[in-house]
Chains A and B, each alone.
Chain A
């Protein structure tokens, strides 16, 4: 690069900086761009460039620091692997900019120096001034006013850790001077603080967990860890020779804990006056616990080192072993945290397995399993080979399989190796694992499993051809695999199931087909066609098709040619819930129960009853025989076929229940609602009958828990299916009936199943973007107008569902909008009100009242909203409501306005400008501060599920993902800030329309 061209680039960068907007979100956005451009000119050492970079990094660091100080920005201390809930947009943007700038050496140095000062509580010294005293006062005032307890986290410390984390993340390595500085910091802490800084050092290690250290860096750190292992030399509590030394240590501690100068000064005076000098800190824990904590800290440190270099494995294992011997609980906690080491450095697995065998550890409980899954296990080829080897040799170490089953991803060469391994693998446990891994990865990345699937298919094909027995895991894999595999598999089995085949071959095929029919019911996700196909090929003819198996196989072959489901397929599916009891089954069951000796005459009578159902007569027969189900039969004659089914092999449901539940689950994925609607209704009636039969079972209420279990499962799946359908009048009525069902079932049956939380978290999100038939609107409005009974919680849930559906239409006339206004927006329930606002805001043309309402919400101070809501709650005397739920309404208003801004036709230029001004007001620092305070964990947190449906509905407009934690909707000021950024460049007040800054704006220089 020529020098003159370099000069030209610097000239252009300076020109860019000169043309920055004076303030606001646009300025932030341009600063982001400038950071990107600066980062492109990396090799340049021109001092002008350095000045520009330093100025930009300091602006950014200061803004980030302010965010931490004034509340709202999320810290990372103590969190393993730094999983955070969604941080504020403002924080994300600043951290991103810092990451970009961290590529510049000067900027990186600056970040490190801020981080070190912040971790030592000396940021004020660096900045040469107190840290936003006014900000602190405002925070304190709010704390006092809202009765909030002070937050646990020290913002300065969190800021420092965040900076270190960003530095480590950016390049995945630390520069030598950076590690030196960190070692110096931790040495200083160990030397100066009154007690050994176990948790602070753990935080440092955690910050660096993704860093790969050079061998020299590793040695440096290793020697430090070895030193600290000497608890005599480095005891948990220090002794002090003099008072001055003690005061100095306490002052340092105070700074790190963010106590402030005033606090420290007062404490020092008190110590001096009272002569309260202690030569050592009073022990909080017993020496043994101190020892455990030290070993825990060291294990985390060695684990961090081991990730970079396997030669530290023995040290890690030694420390772990010591820890396991002295404190099993701490050992398990630490182990959970450092587990990734053993798939990144798998050579250490064997000794770990042995250690855990010695400890008698065999399997994770459910809680641990999910924690391990959260670590996203990823295996290289070598790691996979070693882990599978251990599975073969240590079958009792079930935890190995649990980790492998929770695999998040495989390295591509590992997947390739596994595909080759499939052909020759003899160990059934390993094969089972491979099938489970394939199923798991199939939902995530097809690239990794294409070869694996083909290999499995080939192995299965050969096994079938050789007549080798295949476990039910194989059947489950085939049942859930791509339809083409199932199609080919059935084609293959079709040949073996022919009448003229030898018995052993036929029985082999039959066994596999039976397993297929059973396993398809256990799949998490399945389509109706797949169910019909797998059920039809069941040699036990569970659907009672009365067709020979070869004929069934031929039939399913035709069905699979066309992927769409027609009346014929529905007909087969309907048989899963057939109500007519089969006399043979009935007789067998009665025999098995020993209640009734059925002779020919008895069978004739039963046959007659079943042909012309007469519940009274039937019940009478059973009563005479002493069969306890006689009461159920009398009360719920439609359930006869279920009552007399035996329990399934697992003993928790009646035979056939899994099939019915699978069908209900599959109805969520139908594409033709008209066809499936009757099926859905029938299944729901069955669920209600089962719930009722369980609730009032004559003399022994709740005697058949399997009915309740089935009813719950069915009801859950069916309500989800209804919520997923296009909205027509029958669908509206069915939904109403379902949500209100608990009020007509004895003992409030199904009320826990259809709990408000379930409706908010699961049902409302499913109703987003459903097609709504115009004919369904009047019945929906009629439901909204129904008076709420005194205990109208379930009716309110129905209303919320209706409003969520109505948010999918934009054609409501003025009268209809008035109904929404009256029945929804005036509701004291904030979710109902927010949904009503959403419905009104979706109508076109936009009514003046809706426009003014939204604008009014945005232009009014958050404090006023909060106080109004507090008063409203006080008037209602509802002690469960929390006034900060008003942020949900405000968030809805902001996100709704984003939708308007996206639509060119929705707003005039003047309206857009007014909206822009409202966003500016809404995103003020004070508003962001209030949100930050109220969103602190544990402080008046808004129920997350409450916002889920609305968040799903509005996420597109504000650029959020449907997978994001819906918290963002309860942060209206932060949301408004992001909208200013999003919409400022494309549409707006003269500045944005052309994309060229208008001349009346004075450009503000950066420097």
Chain B
């Protein structure tokens, strides 16, 4: 949309310019637009196209674009200027186009490293920021019980392959894991690592490979409208879960060069969350198409890493301990300066997360929630004691959400009430929860206005717990665990509003369904 708008704007602007200047151009404005489109198809870069057309038509290089925080200003040779209130986007794109390949790649590295250097979930938007690099937990890549394998040559009993070995694999590799196992974080970490290229790390071809992180759904969406996989990849890599992050032209330019050199590292996340209509069949086709396309030049010289759910894996006590230690250390250092005291706190923290009674919380997600909840309490000992009292999953979610609520409220001074905020969250969870039985409806009206709902959701959005697709307006949970908890909250709400009979019927109907097990577990823990 933006591209079309810009194209029309520029065509109109160029037409006026050409007419005003002594040039060879004799056509109509539509002709110029057609010319521009043709040029675009070849070069895909609107601003370069404009420059090229102007140059071809004998106009001296008279256009430059400058930017500010709020605007882009197109300045012609005669001193006239067009101001576009786009937050300086156009100017940044223009600047990117002036770079040579090496500069473009360096720019891309810087931008991508800045984007992914923070542990974005579930701490995104909170006051303290955590460097992903400091807390990242390398996953254990076990042999999968079914489905894709790590590599053709890997055998049971062999050492567990490292991230390096995955990247060395000449074939596309899938990273599978359960909810909260850290698949997305792994891909984000690799993106950051290969973009930042820290000097104290040694990883496979670090400094050579160029990372591109995208989601399967973004890629599929762009690939539908675009025959060229590279363009589709670029567009997908310039956003994450539909959120624009980067200049797509810069990404495409860097990607094309990297692919030609055989140094592109494409990281496709959340294959399982790509849920088209006729999901299974189309998902399979998508994977096959991607795989086939990957066999052709120049793609096959590059690395492809995919992530999806389904494999069975537990983080284990050691993993939990490592994660709690690193994350805890980062968080505690922001509040405490006494190194010995920090060491003692960390000992206590590790002891808690590996205690037998916390056995059911051994996933990266739960360990993260526990650690954050403990460390951001004003008094560490209180946090530890409270966390130690948690016996059910629901308790952990409740602890974390309440704390997040207080945190955000103190920060923003919002007037949203906790009960209303939680209810709005539960409502969104219920609405977006897919496996519902159609015959049982628990769609209850909210006891507050739409405006209040919107305010509550915006409140949660600021905490990073939910996101909104600006185009479709739909809400997405940052982690499926929160959605599940939201559904359980909604069931509680339904029971309290006298819908016990319906909930009982729902329980009977879903007794056998695995996807409901966690919801009921959370419900009974409320």
A positions within 8 Å CB-CB of B:
1-2, 4-5, 8-9, 11-13, 15-16, 19, 30, 33, 36-42, 103, 169-172, 210, 409, 411-413, 442-448, 450, 453-454, 457-458, 482-485, 488, 525, 563-564, 668-671, 724, 765-766, 952, 956, 959, 961-963, 985, 992, 995-997
Contacts and interface: CB of A to CB of B under 8 A. Distances in A.
B322 A448 contact: yes
A484 B356 contact: no
A671 B171 CA distance: 11
22 contacts: A5-B526, A8-B500, A11-B504, A15-B508, A33-B511, A40-B524, A171-B356, A172-B356, A445-B138, A445-B140, A445-B160, A446-B138, A446-B162, A447-B318, A450-B138, A482-B204, A484-B164, A485-B202, A952-B156, A956-B145, A962-B143, A997-B508
Interface string B160-185: 10111100111000000000000000
Given A445-B318, A956-B145, A995-B510, A671 B500 contact: no
A670 B159 contact: no
A412 B524 contact: no
Interface in B484-526: 492, 495-496, 500, 503-504, 507-514, 517, 520-526
A991 to B, nearest CB: 8
Given A15-B504, A19-B511, A985-B512, A447 B145 contact: no
B202 A996 contact: no
B152 interface: yes
Contact of B206 (A447, A450, A484, A724): A484
Contact of A411 (B350, B510, B524): B350
Smallest CB-CB A-B distances: 7 pairs:
A443-B159, A172-B356, A40-B524, A40-B525, A995-B512, A446-B138, A412-B325
B290 to A, nearest CB: 21
A458 B201 CA distance: 10
A103 B391 contact: yes
A12 B325 contact: no
Given A442-B162, A454-B200, 17 more contacts: A5-B496, A16-B508, A30-B511, A36-B517, A40-B394, A40-B521, A170-B357, A446-B140, A457-B202, A482-B164, A482-B165, A482-B202, A563-B170, A671-B151, A961-B145, A963-B156, A997-B508
Interface in B196-235: 200-206
Contacts of A724: 155
Interface of A is mostly: helix
Contacts of A169: 356
A564 to B, nearest CB: 5
Interface string B301-321: 000000000000000001101
B485 to A, nearest CB: 13
A428 B517 CA distance: 56
A13 B524 contact: yes
Nearest to A16: B507
B279 interface: no
A32 to B, nearest CB: 10
B164 A483 contact: yes
Contacts of A985: 512-514
Contact of B319 (A19, A170, A447): A447
Contacts, number: 157
A722 to B, nearest CB: 14
Contacts of B331: none
Interface residues of B, number: 66
Contact of B508 (A1, A19, A36, A668): A19
Given A40-B521, A447-B137, A484-B206, A5 B350 contact: no
A39 B206 CA distance: 49
B495 A8 contact: yes
A172 B524 contact: no
A724 B492 CA distance: 55
Contacts of A668: 155
B257 to A, nearest CB: 18
Contacts of A997: 508, 511-512
Interface in B62-108: none
A470 to B, nearest CB: 18
A978 to B, nearest CB: 15
A45 B492 CA distance: 20
Contacts of A30: 511
Of the candidates B155, B160, B524, the one having the most CB atoms from chain A within 10 angstroms of its own CB is: B524
Nearest to A489: B202
Nearest to B500: A8
A443 B357 CA distance: 29
Contact of B511 (A16, A171, A445): A16
Interface string B14-34: 000000000000000000000
B431 interface: no
B357 A996 contact: no
Contact of B357 (A172, A450, A952, A963): A172
B385 interface: no
Given A412-B325, A445-B140, A724-B155, A210 B162 contact: no
A56 to B, nearest CB: 14
Given A443-B159, A992-B512, A37 B319 contact: no
Contacts of A563: 168-170
B516 to A, nearest CB: 9
A670 B509 CA distance: 51
A600 B115 CA distance: 74
Interface in B392-412: 392, 394
B158 interface: yes
B156 A962 contact: yes
A448 B346 CA distance: 16
B451 interface: no
Contacts of A210: 356
Contacts of A445: 138, 140, 160, 318-319, 322
Contacts of A9: 523-524
Nearest to B394: A40
A670 B170 CA distance: 13
